[in-house]
């Protein structure tokens, strides 16, 4: 496999944008990424577009709106990890020597699509009996609290930290100086999760330009190296599985670490799929960034803050940016890239050299979940 | 397997919301319908066509699950579910003898009195999901309630 790099990134400001066409958001992000990479659209050889609900031919519609078409475009649907997978496929295409310059787009317009909480697709049995995505996480939260003594205040602190990080991020409108009391007094969605334990509805697009070593040698710029990727689907779970541990996240992470030739101890910071506060707890542990049950102490000691030993979601995460499904994975790449380049301003993590981006999504009755993708980047 | 119709109220016959998951016995009590692999012993609820470990379709036989289990976790759902009347309670119950964990609505209890590890028993009742139309009789489901 050849070396591959992120040469440019761009994203829209994540917000509710009911009156903006999805294609327009895609075009905004493309323009910014091309400018950041300092390349012309005509140099892009293939497009990988990740989304879940934008309809057929999403990537082609965005390219037509941009005004450049005729090149290979592939659309990728993998629920919350659609963008991560679009990025992964672009990475592998360049690493395999198929293309020298690819574009990964992640996009989702959520506004106006759902009434109430999102539920699993179609006639999923658990959905028929009342499960929703918040409820899935609430059930795990209750069990984790029972086994490890985690309290609602600890979960609330994750929301506080991520909302505060988002205040320093011009790519989101959802940042805020909220307190633990604000979280705990927000309406309960499903016990123990309150409204502020859940990510807000948001629309957006993010783009990464991925290139080969040959291009980096020729153009220079500020490339960040892509060193590993892992992808899993949820295993069947007959019997009594451990609801406090995300096996799927763990397997995707181990695959990515092996691909990269590094381990969790080498990761300086991570963008982790915090669709709900409890999700951040489960995933930091699943990624091997601390031992099982270890998040209780990391939260209470402030180690997950930007200034802590294990900075998580300096961008604000999903709690602080919202979660336009397909866009999130590539938005994480945007953040990891800016951090490694030391361009994160007030969000800058000291010593950010190797960063991890993690997305996990979906629910399929009988399995642990639908998909988990992990991508790892480091300074060149 | 013929599923007995459960009579609720005056002349009102309700049907299971989905076939093949449970049956109602003569005494009105419910039973979950599962199957089990002869070779490796894994139990499947809902039933599967073949064992996902052995991948052979002649090793599976029907079983009926025990009615009692322990509450593994639960949550009270308060809002954001337009298809369901809120609040409602859901949870996972472990049927230790059968080696299966069941997701189900929880009923006949005050959330304040629920705790992980409680003894629960199977019951049958009207589902919480709003009927798609007035004539929809597919409203019966299995639930768990605390053992009295």
Closest CA of chain A from B18, distance in Å: 9
CB atoms within 10 A of CB A280: 27
Cα–Cα nearest to B35, from B70, B72, B1, B73? B1
The closest CB to that of A146, out of B76, B103, B116, belongs to: B116
User: Residues, chain B, total?
Assistant: 148
Shared domain check, A165 and A212: no
* CB spacing of B73 vs A146 below 8 angstroms: yes
pLDDT of residue B8: 46
The closest CB to that of B103, out of A126, A134, A236, belongs to: A126
Taking only the tens place, the pLDDT of each residue in B95-104 is 999 999 999 9
A43 within some domain: yes
Is B3 a residue whose pLDDT tops 50?
no
* CB spacing of B75 vs A142 below 8 angstroms: yes
Closest CA of chain B from A203, distance in Å: 19
Would you kindly state where each structural domain of chain B is located, as residue ranges? 20-146
A338 within some domain: yes
Shared domain check, A92 and A209: yes
A118 within some domain: no
Looking at residue A213, which CATH number applies to its domain?
3.40.47.10
Chain A interface disruption, residue of B37, B40, B69, B81, most A CBs within 10 A: B81
Domain that holds residue A369: 125-198+228-379
H/E segment holding residue B22: strand B22-24
End-to-end Cα distance, chain B? 31
Residue A51 Cα distances to A20, A57, A106, angstroms: 17, 10, 6
Shared domain check, A219 and A232: no
Taking only the tens place, the pLDDT of each residue in B9-51 is 433 578 899 999 999 887 878 999 999 999 999 999 999 998 9
CA A349 from centre of chain: 18
Judge whether A153 and A184 are in contact, CB under 8 Å: yes
- A89-92: long-range contacts (C-beta < 8 A, 24 or more apart)? A89/A48, A90/A46, A90/A48, A90/A208, A90/A210, A91/A4, A91/A210, A91/A226, A91/A229, A91/A375, A92/A229
Say how far apart CA B144 and CA B122 lie, in whole Å.
5
Is B6 a residue whose pLDDT tops 60?
no
Shared domain check, A238 and A283: yes
Q: What is the 3-state secondary structure (H, E, C) of A31-95?
A: HHHHHHHCCCHHHCCEEEEECCCCCCCHHHHHHHHHCCCCCCEEEECCHHHHHHHHHHHHHHHHH
Domain count across chain A: 2
Is A85 marked active-site? no
Is A194 marked active-site? no
In terms of pLDDT, which residue wins out, A61 or B52?
A: A61
- Per CB-CB distance under 8 Å, the chain B contacts of A120 are none
Shared domain check, A319 and A271: yes
pTM beyond 0.90, yes or no: yes
Shared domain check, A275 and A150: yes
pLDDT of residue B11: 36
Shared domain check, A210 and A62: yes
Bridge partners for B129 per DSSP? B84
Residue of B nearest to A242 (CA): B72
Shared domain check, A155 and A57: no
Shared domain check, A234 and A221: no
pLDDT of residue A122: 67
Shared domain check, A222 and A318: no
The closest CB to that of A135, out of B21, B77, B82, belongs to: B77
Shared domain check, A242 and A141: yes
Shared domain check, A215 and A81: yes
pLDDT of residue A112: 81
Percent of all residues in chain B with a pLDDT value above 70, rounded to a whole number: 91
Which tokens is A21 given?
């066409």
pLDDT digit of tens for each residue in chain A (380 aa)?
899 999 999 999 999 999 999 999 999 999 999 999 999 999 999 999 999 999 999 999 999 999 999 999 999 999 999 999 999 999 999 999 999 999 999 999 999 887 777 777 767 888 889 998 899 999 999 999 999 999 999 999 999 999 999 999 999 999 999 999 999 999 999 999 999 999 999 999 999 999 999 999 999 999 999 999 999 999 988 899 999 999 999 999 999 999 999 999 999 999 999 999 999 999 999 999 999 999 999 999 999 999 999 999 999 999 999 999 999 999 999 999 999 999 999 999 999 999 999 999 988 878 888 999 999 999 99
pLDDT of residue B4: 46
A46 within some domain: yes
CB atoms within 10 A of CB A125: 16
Closest CA of chain B from A251, distance in Å: 19
């Amino acid at each position: 496999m050849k070396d591959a790099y992120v040469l440019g990134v761009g994203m829209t400001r994540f917000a509710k944008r009911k009156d903006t066409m999805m294609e327009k958001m895609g075009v905004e992000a493309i323009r910014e990424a091309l400018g950041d990479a300092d390349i012309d659209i005509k140099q892009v050889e293939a497009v990988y577009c990740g989304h879940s609900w934008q309809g057929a031919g999403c990537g082609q519609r965005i390219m037509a709106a941009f005004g450049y078409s005729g090149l290979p475009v592939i659309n990728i649907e993998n629920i919350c990890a659609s963008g991560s997978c679009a990025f992964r496929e672009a990475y592998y295409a360049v690493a395999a020597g198929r293309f020298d310059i690819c574009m990964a787009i992640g996009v989702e317009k959520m506004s106006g699509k759902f009434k109430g909480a999102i539920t699993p697709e179609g006639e999923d049995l658990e959905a028929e009996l009342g499960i929703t995505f918040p409820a899935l996480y609430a059930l795990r939260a209750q069990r984790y609290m029972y086994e490890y003594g985690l309290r609602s205040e600890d979960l609330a602190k994750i929301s506080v930290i991520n909302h505060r990080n988002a205040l320093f991020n011009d790519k989101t409108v959802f940042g805020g100086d909220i307190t633990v009391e604000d979280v705990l007094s927000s309406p309960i969605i499903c016990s123990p999760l309150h409204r502020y334990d859940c990510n807000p509805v948001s629309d957006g697009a993010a783009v990464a330009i991925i290139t080969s070593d040959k291009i980096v040698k020729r153009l220079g710029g500020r490339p960040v190296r892509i060193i590993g990727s892992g992808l899993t689907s949820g295993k069947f779970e007959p019997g009594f599985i451990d609801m406090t541990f995300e096996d799927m996240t763990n397997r995707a992470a181990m695959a990515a670490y092996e691909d990269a030739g590094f381990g969790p101890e080498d990761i300086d910071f991570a963008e982790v799929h915090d669709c709900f506060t409890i999700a951040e707890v489960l995933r930091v542990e699943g990624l091997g960034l601390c031992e099982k049950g270890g998040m209780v102490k990391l939260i209470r000691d402030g180690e997950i803050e930007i200034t802590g030993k294990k900075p998580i979601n300096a961008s604000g995460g999903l709690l602080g940016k919202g979660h336009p499904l397909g866009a999130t994975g590539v938005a994480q790449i945007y953040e990891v890239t800016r951090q490694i380049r030391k361009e994160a301003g007030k969000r800058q993590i000291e010593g950010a050299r190797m960063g991890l981006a993690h997305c996990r999504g979906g629910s399929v009755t009988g399995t642990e979940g639908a998909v988990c993708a992990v991508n790892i980047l480091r300074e060149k | 397997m013929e599923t007995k119709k459960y009579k609720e109220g005056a002349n009102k016959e309700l049907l299971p919301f989905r076939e093949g998951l449970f049956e109602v016995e003569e005494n009105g009590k419910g039973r979950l319908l599962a199957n089990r692999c002869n070779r490796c012993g894994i139990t499947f609820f809902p039933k599967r066509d073949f064992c996902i470990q052995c991948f052979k379709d002649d090793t599976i036989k029907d079983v009926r699950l025990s009615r009692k289990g322990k509450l593994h976790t639960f949550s009270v759902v308060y809002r954001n579910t337009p298809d369901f009347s809120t609040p409602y309670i859901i949870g996972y119950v472990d049927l230790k003898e059968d080696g299966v964990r069941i997701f189900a609505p929880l009923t006949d209890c005050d959330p304040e009195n629920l705790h992980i590890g409680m003894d629960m028993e199977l019951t049958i009742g009207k589902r919480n999901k709003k009927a798609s139309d007035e004539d929809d009789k597919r409203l019966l489901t299995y639930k768990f309630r605390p053992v009295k």
